[in-house]
């Protein structure tokens, strides 16, 4: 009984710490309407990618913790499943994590992903987007998504994303944003 109470208290303390970290991170994210901080990272293809490369298109910039993990794989598969819908909406998907470009290359090959994953090995871009967290002493990208409009401004922010229905959520938001975009 005491062991169960201890485990419950420990789980509650961890949950409280995670919520506090998420609340703190949210304060550091770029605001809707603000220019999106530039991204200059190496892709899974080994080439440099900048957010400026996509001016004139909508960009779904999603941050995720780690290649080859269950939630991240599910989220990536759902974006891949809906890739044609994003293309029809004049949108590109860019995934960002602290994994290496080589890890991203292997992840894309194994999972059949046809969009770019960007390596933020020093977590600099994740930090600029208020999307960095610590897990077991390691810095990882927190699961947040930003829709960037064709002019390069933040149009929508999703914090603490749940991978299972996120692609549908992003597509719906993108459709709403495009209706009122001028």
Q: What is the pLDDT of residue 22?
A: 43
Q: Considering the chain, what is the average pLDDT of its residues?
A: 87
Spans in the chain with pLDDT lower than 50: 3-26
Predicted structure pTM score: 0.84
Domains of the chain with bracketed CATH: 2-180 (3.40.30.10)
CA distances from 40 to 3, 59, 120 (A): 49, 14, 9
- SS (HEC) of 91-143: EEEEEEECCCHHHHHHHHHHHCCCCEEEECCCCHHHHHCCCEEEECCEEEECC
The three-state (H, E, C) secondary structure of 164-175, written as one string: HHHHHHHHHHHH
Q: Judge contact between 51 and 129, C-beta under 8 A.
A: no
46 three-class SS: coil
Q: How many angstroms separate the CA atoms of 58 and 93, rounded? A: 9
> Which residues does the annotation mark as catalytic?
72
């Amino acid at each position: 009984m005491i062991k169960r109470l201890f485990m419950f208290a420990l789980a509650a303390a961890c949950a409280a710490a995670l919520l506090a970290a998420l609340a703190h991170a949210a304060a550091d994210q770029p605001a809707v309407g603000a220019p999106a901080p530039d991204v200059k990272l190496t892709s899974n293809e080994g080439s440099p990618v900048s957010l400026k490369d996509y001016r004139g298109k909508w960009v779904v910039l999603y941050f995720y913790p780690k290649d080859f993990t269950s939630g991240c794989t599910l989220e990536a598969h759902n974006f891949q499943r809906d890739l044609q819908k994003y293309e029809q909406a004049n949108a590109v998907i860019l995934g960002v994590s602290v994994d290496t470009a080589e890890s991203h290359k292997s992840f894309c090959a194994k999972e059949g992903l046809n969009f770019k994953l960007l390596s933020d090995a020093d977590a600099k871009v994740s930090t600029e987007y208020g999307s960095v967290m610590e897990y077991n002493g390691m810095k990882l990208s927190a699961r947040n998504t930003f829709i960037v409009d064709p002019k390069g401004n933040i149009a929508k922010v999703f914090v603490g994303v749940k991978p299972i229905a996120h692609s549908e959520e992003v597509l719906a938001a993108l459709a709403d944003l495009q209706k009122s975009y001028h």
